[in-house]
Amino acid sequence: MKKDYQRPLDLRSGRIDLNHGAGGRAACQLVDELFGRAFDNEFLGQGNDGALLPAPPELLEGGRLVMSCDGHVVSPIFFPGGDLGSLAVHGTVNDVAMLGARPLYLSASFILEEGYPLADLKRLVDSMAAASRAAGVPVVTGDTKVVEQGKGDGVFIATTGVGVVPRGRVIGGAMARPGDAVLVSGSIGDHGVAVLSRRESLEFETAIQSDSAALHGLVGAMLAAVPEGSVHVLRDPTRGGLATTLNEIARQSGIGMHLEEAAIPVKPQVDAACELLGLDPLYVANEGKLVAVVAPGHADAVLAAMRAHPLGAEAARIGSVVADDHRFVQMATRFGGRRVVDWLTGEQLPRIC
């Protein structure tokens, strides 16, 4: 139903004020003219506080629901290769996909700071809507709140994702077994370095772009290439990077890992930036890469499927799972030595995703 407002939102020079979060006419107009238009779909168009959604066929065949939530507080909000809006979609879609599920729907909650420019908010919302449409995962419900100036940091976005996994599919951090191969879908550290370069106004000879992307298509290609049960673990190495993710898997599964440093893909410009900044790429966040732990007899087929997909062209086998009661992740270095790849201690790069 068309709303009758005295004048449209000033999306060029207007700013968020407290009325936009008060639940009255201004709040309704913000939802109608910005969020509603950007995310428009039949479920959001129901106009209720929740969405009535059809049951997917996988549920009728004994499948199970998957649900994940995430908060996104990246600073700066706009960075090379992405922004907070697209990142919010990609991050939650990927969390659902890492359980081998097909993502179905998203919710989005916006915490806006008084005084935030409406032009920047529109840019974010449009980016988020484009990412949602490209992923084929609609935003079907949401919420908006406004906090006083100085009580936020522009925009925070919290998302929830719902998906469905077929009957009998079990993929999770506790499923790694000795002998399994450890694969990564591409170069690591791109996202964290891209965000940091913009945050610190650093200029490198080669532009470093975030790898932010929705990975469910890549996951689908991997799972379709091998018999059910061949892929044991999937995980996206976001905060804490590859090293922390592998330690999480080792802890959950009660195993160890042996890695080959020379096999881990790192772009030369990312490696150089990390050396300049005193960072280890193993601990730098990613937003468009995944780690897969795969039964050894099917590792080559999964790797080939990854490399055949645009988001896995640089995929590599980087190590193997071993029996180890201490649950150590160890790495053979390029210089012939061996080092323990331990958990991240502290916050190497705050506000990165």
Distance CA 180, CA 112 (A): 45
Residue of 166 and 4 predicted with greater confidence: 166
**Residues forming beta bridges with residue 260, ordered by sequence position:** 332
pLDDT digits (tens, 9 = 90+) for 312-335: 999 999 999 999 999 999 999 999
CB distance 205 to 320 below 8 Å: no
Task: Give Cα separations from 181 to 99, 231, 297, 301, 320 (angstroms).
Answer: 18, 10, 9, 12, 4
Distance CA 11, CA 34 (A): 9
pLDDT band at 7 (very low <50, low <70, confident <90, very high): confident
Predicted structure pTM score: 0.94
Residue of 345 and 39 predicted with greater confidence: 39
Average pLDDT over all residues of the chain: 94
pLDDT digits (tens, 9 = 90+) for 59-76: 989 999 999 999 999 999
| Three-state SS letters, 120-139 | HHHHHHHHHHHHHHHHCCCE
Q: Which of 96, 99, 78 is nearest to 87 (CA)?
A: 78
pLDDT band at 351 (very low <50, low <70, confident <90, very high): confident
| pLDDT value at 38 more than 70 | yes
Q: How many Cβ atoms are within 10 Å of 345's Cβ, its own excluded? A: 7
Q: Which domains are assigned to the chain?
A: 18-165 (3.30.1330.10), 181-340 (3.90.650.10)
CB distance 215 to 224 below 8 Å: no
pLDDT digits (tens, 9 = 90+) for 237-249: 998 999 999 999 9
Q: What is the pLDDT of residue 230?
A: 98
Q: H or E element: which one contains 70?
A: strand 64-72
Q: What is the pLDDT of residue 146?
A: 97
Secondary structure percentages of the chain, helix, strand, coil, to 5: 35, 20, 45
CB distance 234 to 292 below 8 Å: yes
Cα within 13 Å of Cα(277), Cβ side: 24
- Average pLDDT (297-305) is 98
Q: Which residues touch 65 (CB under 8 Å, ≥6 apart)?
A: 59, 162, 163, 164
| pLDDT value at 1 more than 60 | no
Q: Kindly give the residue spans of alpha helices, DSSP state H, lying in the chain.
A: 25-30, 37-38, 57-60, 84-97, 118-135, 190-199, 216-224, 241-253, 268-277, 299-307
- Average pLDDT (73-100) is 96
- Provide the residue type at 287 as one letter: E
pLDDT digits (tens, 9 = 90+) for 249-284: 999 999 999 999 999 999 999 999 999 888 999 999
Task: Give Cα separations from 215 to 75, 104, 145, 234, 299 (angstroms).
Answer: 23, 14, 30, 11, 19
pLDDT digits (tens, 9 = 90+) for 9-20: 999 999 999 999
Distance CA 61, CA 313 (A): 34
Q: What is the pLDDT of residue 353?
A: 84
Task: Give Cα separations from 229 to 164, 222, 226, 335 (angstroms).
Answer: 17, 12, 8, 36
Distance CA 41, CA 285 (A): 32
- Provide the residue type at 105 as one letter: Y
Distance CA 332, CA 348 (A): 23
- Which two tokens mark 127? 């980016």
